[in-house]
Amino acid sequence: MGGWLGNLRVTGRVRPVWSIDFVTSNSNKIIVIGSGPAGLSCTMALLKKGIQVTLLDIGVRKPGDSVKANTSDLDWDNAYERLVNPQGIPLKTTFGSLHPYNQNISVKQTGCMLVSSQSAGGLSAVWGRACLPYTDLELSGWPVRYEELRPYYQFVEQEMMTLHCANPSQSAFPYHSPTVKALPVPKSLGRIAKKLQQYFEVVSARIALNKNREHACSGCGHCLAGCPEDVLLDFSATINRIKEMYPNFSYVPHIKVNSFTETEENVIVQGESLKGEGEAVSMPADKLFLACGPLATAIIVLGSQQEKQDVEILDSQYFFIPFISLKPLLKTEELANYHSSCQLMAEHLNSRPWSSFSPPNVECGDSSPLSEPCGDESPHSKNPPIGLNGARTTNRTHLQFYFYNEIFERVVFHKLPFMKRFHFALMPIYRRLGLVQGFIHSDSSAKMCLKKAENGGFELSVSKKAPSGIKILPPILWKLLKAGLIPILPGLQFKLPGQSFHNGGSFPMQSSGGFLTTEANGKLRGFNRVYIADSSAFPSIPATTITLTIMANAYRVGDINA
């Protein structure tokens, strides 16, 4: 670890653990908190401007750290065990480890399930790596337009990941990187896509792969349980890459930040070391960028001031629809060698005829009234784009298609153990099985409220129920059926708020707004030196994948405030 950290000393329980060098220096010092996709993108932007950046992070590492190439000794049964149980599919693990979800924060949750990662690289150890950008439709009501985000998407897609996309040209979503056909995709996908195209806006899946990866995809199909070849993007490896590239970068893991205090000269970050005896940490900086994910960022902000005791957190709720196809989806030989990440995406346009629009008087960043009827989300934009059949579109429901993978087989064996004997006889059925993972816009989802509790901890509960979320499903089920994919209704699951991992909006960017909203540049109102770099600053949580935009926006916030 270079620079001032070389002098790190811990000598007592309540004292700054950082060196005198750092405390007294006046050079431009910036602290970023969190090493997930948001924190690392923001850090990259600042480092590129030649600024000295210290990244503070809880930074738990996964056991065995990076598992590569030699797959023979991996315990796949253990890796799948937690993924498959009678309750359905619980939290995704990485080789059976739940380390990305370890959390030692005190939040009592009622009716919701919001996770705060404390892992090096954040939730990127387990994420699905599906990456679509937002368009101006998704950015309705934001003070930032697609054109402003475009250069940052470009940077992120080209410099921080390799984005695999089977067919980038055929899409309503712009693509910012050269085509890389790196993952084996079943040929029969083209036929399924064609069928779905009649009812949905079909998009080729885009999967984020590690930059500079050493191994090619072997097509082993274990993507959902852990990639043995390190092909799928996990940002814990990116931290080392940044360390090698920039001498002015310091990474300090095992620090849990609790709060910050702003003075005229600086902002002081307070926390505790999770190593040793839990010494207190106090660290000054010129500017602070918070990128801990929506729950942890909100806890740090609420823990830093007296006035406000609660914040609302938005969610893009999600659902599972298992289905069986009338015709085989995959050929038998295709079951053996392909990747099992999301393979196809489709957008369902929630629309109503233009004539029925009377655009409400919505302020920038205001979420639409919850009383809006189903599937007819209130338009933030006065000119919503034209969707299928010439109807004006208000927002999308995002669908991700997963075809055969080992989990299907294990679910069948779990529920019907005697079927193990008929493993091969079941092949024709597996070839027809699939799963849709769908996400709805935050306007149609429940909202959560995070409050300071009297015992000093925090409480998270549902503040507003999903006004229309569940009603979005029938047209989608009907269209799947028309496309020849029969929904298995007993398997349908509508998940709790928070479970989608697509959330934020607690300190929304607004052109003009009140205390603890953010300016369009990410600065937290009420403070002069504090910026929000993660999805906490999103004015809404659109249905499509969130992380690419988290990264592009974090890069933008770092770049314009360096």
Ligand X SMILES: Cc1cc2nc3c(=O)[nH]c(=O)nc-3n(C[C@H](O)[C@H](O)[C@H](O)COP(=O)(O)OP(=O)(O)OC[C@H]3O[C@@H](n4cnc5c(N)ncnc54)[C@H](O)[C@@H]3O)c2cc1C
Q: Which does 56 bind (CB under 5 to 8 A by kind): ligand X, ligand SF4, none?
A: ligand X
293 binds, options ligand SF4, ligand X, none, Cβ within 5 to 8 A by partner type: ligand X
3 lies in the binding site for ligand SF4 (CB under 6 A): no
- Residue ranges with strand state E in 421-474: 433-439, 447-452, 458-464
Q: For residue 185, give the nearest of 211, 204, 170 by alpha carbon.
A: 204
Stretch that binds ligand SF4, among 48-56, 220-228, 381-389, 512-520 (CB under 6 A): 220-228
213 is an interface residue for ligand SF4 by CB under 6 A: no
At a CB cut-off of 8 Å and minimum separation 6, what does 90 contact? 82, 83
Contact predicate 411/88, CB 8 Å: no
Residues 6+ apart with CB under 8 A from 433: 322, 323, 324, 325, 329, 403, 404, 408
67 binds ligand SF4 (CB under 6 A): no
Q: Does 218 bind ligand SF4 (CB under 6 A)?
A: yes
CA distance 84 to 501: 19
Residue placing its CB nearer to ligand SF4 in the complex, 226 or 498: 226
> Is residue 231 at the binding interface for ligand SF4, with CB under 6 A as the rule?
yes
Tokens of 327: 């015709």
- Smallest distance, Å, CB 199 to ligand SF4? 29
Contact 447, 314 (CB under 8 A): yes
Is 229 near ligand SF4 (CB under 6 A)? Answer: yes
Q: Which does 35 bind (CB under 5 to 8 A by kind): ligand SF4, ligand X, none?
A: ligand X
Q: Is 220 strand, coil or helix?
A: coil
292 binds, among ligand X, ligand SF4, none (CB under 5 to 8 A by kind): ligand X
DSSP 162: E
Both tokens assigned to 547: 């992380």
Query: Which parts of 49-187 are beta strand (E)?
Result: 52-56, 107-110, 162-165
Q: How far is CA 272 from CA 15, 240, 259, in A?
A: 10, 23, 10
Q: Is 221 in the site for ligand SF4 (CB under 6 A)?
A: yes
Buried b / exposed e across 345-361, counting CB within 10 Å, b at 16+?
bbbbbbbbeeeebeeee
Pairing between β-strand 249-252 and β-strand 162-165 as defined by DSSP bridges: unpaired
Q: Which is nearer to ligand SF4, 330 or 480 (by Cβ)?
A: 330
Q: From ligand SF4, ligand X, none, which one binds at residue 220 (CB under 5 to 8 Å depending on kind)? A: ligand SF4
Residue 219 interacting entry, from ligand SF4, ligand X, none, C-beta within 5 to 8 Å by type:
ligand SF4
Instruction: Decide whether 214 or 363 has the Cβ nearer to ligand SF4.
Output: 214
Cite the DSSP H helix spans in 379-455. Answer: 406-415, 427-430
C-alpha span between 28 and 5 (Å, rounded)? 16
Q: How far apart are CA 400 and CA 371, in angstroms?
A: 28
* Binding at 222: pick from ligand X, ligand SF4, none (beta carbon under 5-8 Å per type): ligand SF4
* CB-based contact 254:273 (threshold 8 Å): yes
Question: Can you tell me the distance from the alpha carbon of 395 to that of 376, in angstroms, rounded to the nearest whole number?
Answer: 9
339 vs 502, which CB is nearer to ligand SF4? 339
- Could you tell me the smallest distance in angstroms from the CB atom of residue 337 to ligand SF4? 8
Asked if 83 interacts with ligand SF4 (CB under 6 A), we say: no
304 or 468: CB nearest ligand X: 304
The terminus-to-terminus CA distance of the chain in angstroms comes to: 23
92 binds ligand SF4 (CB under 6 A): no
The answer to whether residue 497 forms part of the interface with ligand SF4 (CB under 6 A) is: no
Interface with ligand SF4 includes 516 (CB under 6 A)? Answer: no
Asked if 79 is part of the footprint of ligand SF4 (rule: CB under 6 A), the reply reads no
29/381 Cα distance (integer angstroms): 40
Q: Which is nearer to ligand SF4, 89 or 362 (CB)?
A: 89
For residue 232, state whether it binds ligand SF4 (rule: CB under 6 A): yes
Structure tokens at 252: 């300090």
Instruction: State which of residues 115, 217, 329, 349 lies at the interface with ligand SF4 (CB under 6 A).
Output: 217
Binding site for ligand X (CB under 6 A): 33-39, 56-59, 92, 116-119, 122-124, 126-131, 255-257, 291-293, 296, 300, 501, 534-535, 545-547, 550
Residue 123 interacts with which of ligand SF4, ligand X, none, CB < 5 to 8 Å by class: ligand X
Q: Where are the beta strands (DSSP E) in 182-285?
A: 201-204, 206-209, 249-252, 255-262, 267-273, 280-285
Q: Residue 9 phi/psi, 5° resolution?
A: -135, 140
- Closer to ligand X by CB, 283 or 473: give it: 283
**Taking the complex as a whole, how short is the minimal distance between the CB of residue 82 and ligand SF4, in angstroms?**
17
By CB under 6 A, is residue 220 in contact with ligand SF4? yes
The CB-of-184 to ligand SF4 minimum distance in angstroms stands at 7
Scan residues 280-339 and list those touching ligand SF4 (CB under 6 A): 339
Of residues 354-383, which lie at the interface with ligand SF4 (CB under 6 A)? none
Minimum distance, C-beta of residue 548 to ligand X, in the bound complex (Å): 6
The residue from 32, 53, 149, 223 that contacts ligand SF4 (CB under 6 A) is: 223
Size of the site for ligand SF4 (CB under 6 A): 13
Question: Taking the C-alpha atoms of 250, 253, 259 and 261 in order, what is their torsion angle to the nearest 10 degrees?
Answer: -20
443 versus 534: smaller Cβ distance to ligand X:
534
Backbone torsions φ then ψ of 542, nearest 5 degrees: -65, 165
**Which option in ligand SF4, ligand X, none does residue 550 bind, with CB closer than 5 to 8 A by kind?**
ligand X
Site string for ligand SF4, 176-195 (x = CB under 6 A): -------x------------
Q: Which two tokens stand for residue 144?
A: 């930032």
How far is the C-alpha of 278 from the C-alpha of 136, rounded, in Å? 46
Least distance in angstroms from the C-beta of 258 to ligand X: 7
- Choose from ligand SF4, ligand X, none: what does 218 bind? Cβ within 5-8 Å by kind: ligand SF4
**Contacts with ligand SF4, residue ranges (CB under 6 A):** 183, 217-223, 227, 229, 231-232, 339
